[in-house]
Structure 1
Amino acid sequence: MAIPFKLTLVGKFSYNRPSVELICKFFNTLRLKGTFKVSLLDNRHVLIQLDVEENYSCLWVRQTWYINGSAMRIFKWTTDFRCSEESPIVLVWISFPYLPVHFMHCKEALFSIASTIARPSVARVLVEYDVTQPPLQRIRIGVGDSGFWQSVIFEKIPMYCASCKHLGHSIEMCYVANPGLRP
C-alpha cells in the first residue's frame, strides 16, 4: 500500500499555511519534471506526491521553502508518519577521511560504502539518516583479511527530541519534557 507514496514528502508550516492552490502555483514556478500532487493533511501539513526522483531530491535537499512569505519545512514521508511528530529521517552529509583514491573515483564504490550506513542520495556523500540511531565511527571495507577499517565523519546531525518527537532540540531542552524551562 505504501508503494504509491515512495516519492512523497511532507511540508510543514509553523505559521500561516497558504492555500493548497497557492502552494501548487509555487511548485509550478519550479518547473518540476513530471507531475506532482499537493493535498492537505491538517491545518499545518501538506502531502507532496511526486513522480520523478530528481524532483523529490531537489525539494528535500533544500529543506525549507518560502511560499507567499510562509516557511515550509520538508520532511520525508514514512509509513509511520504522524502530523504530531516530525520524522527522524534527515539528510546528513558524511565523509570518509583518507579513503584510498581508487574508491573516490568510482561512484558505484562510494555509494556502496555509504549504503552500509544509510541510503545514499564524494569521499563525501549525502545520505538519508535516522537521527535516533547512534552514528557509526567506522565501517569495514573489503573481504576477510584483505579489508580495512574506514573512518566516518557525520556533519551537522540535527538534534531530535525523544519526548516530543521534534527536530531541533534535545530532551534536556524540551518544554514538553521539562515544563519548568518554558519562559
Structure 2
Amino acid sequence: MEGMKFAGAVDIGLIDGRHMLLRPSLEVDFLRIRSRELWMVANAPMRVFRWDPSFIPNRESAITPVWVSLSGLPIHLFAREAIFAIAQGIGQPLLIDRATAQRSRPSKARVLIELDSSKPLPPKVRLILPHGNSAWQQIKYERSHSIATTAIIKATRSEIAREGKTEKR
C-alpha cells in the first residue's frame, strides 16, 4: 500500500501487533482497498478483510473478497444491476471490473464478491430469464492467495454512507 494514492482521507489505527483498522472516507477508496485480498506493506503480506463486530484478533475471518468470472454470460446481462443480482446468489457483490463495465470483453463478466470462504462455493447459479425460461451460469472463482500473515480490518460501506461520504457514480 506504500505510495498508494487515495482520493480521500484514510484513517489508520493500530489494534494490536497484527491488526490495523483502516477507515476510508470515500467509497472509491473502500472499493480500491477491498478489490485485493492481499497487499504488500513494508515487504510483508497484509490480508484485507471487512470489519465485523464479532471480530476476535486471534481468529481469521472467513469473509473474503474474491473475483468471480461469469464466462459466456449473455451480453444483455452485462449491466451492473444484472451482474449484482446474479452475484448475490453467491455473496455480497462489491464491484465489476472495467472491461465488464465497458463491455470490452464480452466473453465473460467479472465481479468482486465478498463471500464466506468457510461455506461451500456453488459451481453455478440459476438465471431466471424472461418468458419463464432459465439457464445455469457457470462460476469461476479467482483466488490469488489463501492465507497471509498479517490482516487489516476496514470500515464497512454502510459506515461511509452513514457519514454521507459515498461517491456519486
- TM-score if structure 2 supplies the norm length? 0.66
- Which residue of 2 is the match for residue 61 of structure 1? 35
Q: Which residue of 2 aligns with 1:40?
A: 14
More strand by share: 2
Task: Decide whether aligned partners of structure 1 residues 95 and 108 sit closer, same or farther in structure 2, where only a CA change above 3 A counts.
Answer: same
Aligned to 1:128: 114
Are 1:112 and 2:98 counterparts?
no
More helix by share: 1
Compute the displacement of 1:144 (Å): 8.8
Q: Secondary structure at the match of 2:29?
A: helix
Q: Alpha carbons of 1:33 and 1:97: their partners in 2 closer, same or farther (altered >3 Å)? A: closer
Q: List gaps (5 residues or longer) in structure 2.
A: 95-99, 101-108, 149-169
**Corresponding residue for 1:20?**
none
Higher Cα radius of gyration: 1
**Structure 1 position 33, deviation (Å):** 2.1
Measure the CA separation in 1 of the matches of 2:75 and 2:35. 27
Deviation at 1:31, TM superposition (A): 2.8
Residues 2-60 of structure 1, C-alpha deviation per residue, up to 9 Å, x if partnerless? Answer: xxxxxxxxxxxxxxxxxxxxx9xx5xx43312222211111111111112111112122
Give the match for residue 180 of structure 1. Answer: none
Instruction: Call closer, same or farther: CA 1:131–1:116 in 2, change over 3 Å.
Output: same
Residue in structure 1 matched with residue 165 of structure 2 by the alignment: none
Q: 1:145 offset after TM fit, Å?
A: 6.7
How many pairs are equivalent? 135
Tell me the distance in 2 between the aligned counterparts of 1:33 and 1:112.
28
In the alignment, the residues of structure 1 paired with residue 63 and residue 38 of structure 2 have an alpha-carbon distance, to the nearest angstrom, of 15
SS of residue in 2 equivalent to 1:81: coil
**Secondary structure, aligned partner of 1:87:** coil
> Given the alignment of the two structures, is residue 80 of structure 1 paired with residue 66 of structure 2, yes or no?
no
* TM-score, normalised relative to structure 1: 0.61
| % same residue | 29
Alpha-carbon separation, structure 2, partners of 1:54 and 1:73? 19
* Residues 1:148 and 2:137 are matched in the alignment: no
In 2: Cα distance, 1:31 partner to 1:159 partner: 24
The aligned residue for residue 105 of structure 2 is none
Q: What is the identity, as a one-letter code, of the residue corresponding to 1:97? A: S
Matches within 5 A, 1:17-28: 26=2
Instruction: Tell which has more relative contact order, 1 or 2 (C-alpha 8 A, sep 6+).
Output: 2
1:145 and 1:117 mapped to 2: Cα distance? 24
